[in-house]
């Protein structure tokens, strides 16, 4: 008989580890304990079920206990809660939630995949009957029953992260009046503020009320009506509330067992997913793992890393030797007609880490502009100032965002530079891309900065510069473009007339040129630089990037 492997928890971490353990060892005895009635289900699909995109509840279930038993010879015990771990005796205490019976189970190897639970900040009224979370199947069932029975019309979603954004979209799709409250100054806090600004604008265009920089003080309920009271004194009336303020790892078992908990707030594991007890492995949201850019420990509660960690933990628990390198935290979120994605470090994170860096902005159509249906996307790269290594990327746009973030995430994982990115040989046909793919264009622009071919100033830096210095600001767009908006104080000199008009400028005065997205201002920079302008820059990302900093982005 092979090893006895016990797995605590299902879903991505637990079920994935159990199946990988079986593929590694046909002789092992594998038992999975899951406290809910479901062993493997798509928690990422819950907002889409609420929104009706996934019409049938059954489609959320990835694999059943019966399938795990018949195909993989895995003993699955749902509605069983593991209450304690005795490391010295290599045993766990288990309670049957249906009968109340308790038993002890011995193990040779133990895998912990207890996952996350909804965060519950100390807000009065947040546990009221009209307040819902959306992390489990039970959460979705409760919310769906409420919506069908009560027929409410007004919702407040607290939290502008993944679940909050997807839930807001789902409720808008069902015709609800939606208010979204986020305590930070922008939605989706992991990304930089200007990249998230299009999300807020788009949700408002879709009819949502988006309240940023607002902290919830209380959720009050009076009969079938509720109100979310804000610290600012405002109150948003509604019929129900969805709390999506984040998740917290379920660490009770790990703490009870005396396993080491790290500075990032997760169970410490090595690259074999072993905890501080070599016979206990962990996977998923409870772990802290290595960030592939900084090398520091982080928690990344995402399904992709959880699945990869589960394969490693399951294989090694069964006698294999797999390694997990770490994560970039690559993410992508759909918000109505927009998509936003991130990989690696944001500019804020690079700054907090003290990494010398610069950023670039590009605006590109997701496929050839002459082919019908082209949609714009904005790409922001964060680059190591000295080596040119790509440290991070953020993209927001109408289509094609997922493809480009995956390309750039691969480049970051491989420690590529912006010069590598500009050289990538990517596929092209008019329905799919352009001969110069948006990822390549991002590389072109960032590599030009790295090689010193152009000096680029970021939109927020330009704003500070204009406040403290007398700057010669030149708009090289057309008069028609200027009518739609301009940076105050700019002098209009269309690019095609710049050679004739350049004599009107002082070549020794601080000069900044800008256009719509940065290409024409790059050309203007080259023209003026070769005419003796010795103190000049062009605006990274152009006027479109400037608008992202000033609440008027136009991405779609």
Q: Which residues are identified as catalytic?
A: 44
Alpha helical stretches, state H, 484-541 = 498-501, 519-529
329 and 360 Cβ atoms separated by less than 8 Å = no
The three-state secondary structure class of 71 is: helix
Looking up tokens 């995109």 gives 53
406-416: buried (b, 16+ CB within 10 Å) or exposed (e) per residue?
ebbbebbbeeb
Looking up tokens 């050679």 gives 499
Please say whether the dihedral angle defined by the alpha carbons of residues 406, 408, 414 and 420, taken in this order, is positive or negative: positive
5 and 28 Cβ atoms separated by less than 8 Å = yes
Cα 350 from chain centroid (whole Å): 16
Q: Degrees (nearest 5) of the Cα angle 395, 396, 399?
A: 105
Instruction: Identify the H or E element spanning 7.
Output: strand 4-8
In whole angstroms, give the CA distance from residue 421 to residue 76: 46
Torsion angles phi and psi, residue 519, rounded to 5: -75, -50
Tokens of residue 11, six digits: 């879903």
3-state secondary structure 400-440: CHHHHHHHHHHHHHCCCEHHHHHHCCCCCCCCCCCCCCHHH
Using CA atoms, how far residue 318 sits from 16, 72, 283, 421, in Å, is 13, 14, 15, 40
The three-state secondary structure class of 504 is: helix
């Amino acid at each position: 008989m092979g090893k006895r492997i016990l797995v605590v928890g299902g879903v991505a971490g637990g079920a994935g580890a159990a199946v990988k353990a079986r593929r590694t060892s046909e002789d092992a005895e594998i038992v999975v304990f899951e406290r809910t009635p479901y062993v493997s289900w798509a928690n990422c699909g819950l907002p889409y079920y609420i929104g009706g995109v996934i019409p049938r509840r059954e489609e959320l279930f990835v694999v059943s206990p019966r399938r795990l038993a018949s195909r993989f010879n895995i003993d699955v015990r749902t509605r069983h809660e593991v209450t304690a771990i005795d490391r010295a005796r290599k045993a766990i205490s288990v309670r049957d939630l249906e009968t109340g019976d308790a038993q002890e189970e011995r193990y040779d190897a133990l895998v912990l995949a207890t996952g996350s639970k909804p965060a519950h900040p100390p807000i009065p009224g947040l546990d009221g009957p009209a307040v819902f979370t959306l992390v489990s199947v039970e959460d979705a069932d409760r919310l769906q029953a409420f919506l069908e029975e009560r027929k409410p019309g007004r919702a407040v979603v607290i939290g502008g992260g993944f679940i909050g954004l997807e839930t807001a979209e789902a409720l808008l799709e069902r015709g609800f009046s939606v208010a979204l409250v986020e305590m930070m100054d922008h939605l989706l806090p992991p990304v930089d503020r200007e990249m998230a600004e299009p999300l807020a604008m788009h949700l408002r265009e879709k009819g949502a009320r988006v309240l940023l920089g607002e902290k919830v003080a209380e959720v009050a309920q009076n009969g079938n009506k509720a109100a979310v009271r804000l610290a600012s004194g405002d109150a948003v009336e509604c019929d129900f509330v969805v709390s999506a303020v984040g998740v917290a790892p379920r660490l009770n078992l790990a703490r009870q067992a005396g396993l080491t908990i790290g500075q990032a707030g997760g169970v410490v594991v090595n690259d074999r997913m072993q905890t501080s007890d070599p016979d206990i492995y962990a996977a998923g949201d409870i772990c802290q793992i290595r960030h592939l850019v900084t090398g520091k420990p982080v928690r990344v509660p995402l399904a992709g890393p959880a699945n990869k960690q589960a394969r490693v933990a399951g294989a090694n628990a069964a006698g294999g030797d797999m390694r997990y390198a770490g994560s970039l935290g690559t993410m992508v979120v759909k918000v109505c007609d927009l998509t936003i994605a991130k990989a690696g470090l944001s500019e804020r994170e690079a700054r907090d880490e003290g990494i010398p860096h610069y950023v670039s902005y590009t605006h590109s159509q997701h496929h050839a502009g002459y082919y019908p249906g082209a949609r714009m996307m904005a790409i922001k790269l964060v680059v190591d100032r000295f080596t040119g290594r790509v440290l991070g990327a953020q993209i927001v746009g109408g289509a094609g965002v997922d493809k480009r973030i995956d390309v750039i995430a691969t480049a970051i994982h491989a420690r590529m530079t912006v010069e590598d990115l500009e050289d990538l040989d990517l596929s092209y046909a008019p329905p799919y891309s352009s001969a110069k793919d948006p990822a390549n264009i991002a590389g072109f622009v960032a590599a030009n900065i790295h090689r010193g071919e152009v000096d680029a100033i970021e939109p927020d830096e330009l704003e500070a510069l204009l406040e403290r210095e007398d700057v010669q600001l030149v708009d090289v767009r057309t008069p028609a473009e200027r009518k739609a908006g301009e940076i105050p104080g700019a002098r209009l000199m269309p690019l095609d007339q710049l050679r004739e008009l350049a004599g009107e400028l002082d070549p020794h005065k601080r000069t900044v040129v800008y256009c719509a997205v940065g290409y024409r201002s790059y050309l203007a920079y080259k023209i003026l630089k070769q005419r003796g302008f010795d103190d000049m820059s062009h605006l990274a990302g152009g006027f479109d990037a400037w608008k992202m900093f000033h609440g008027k982005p136009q991405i779609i």
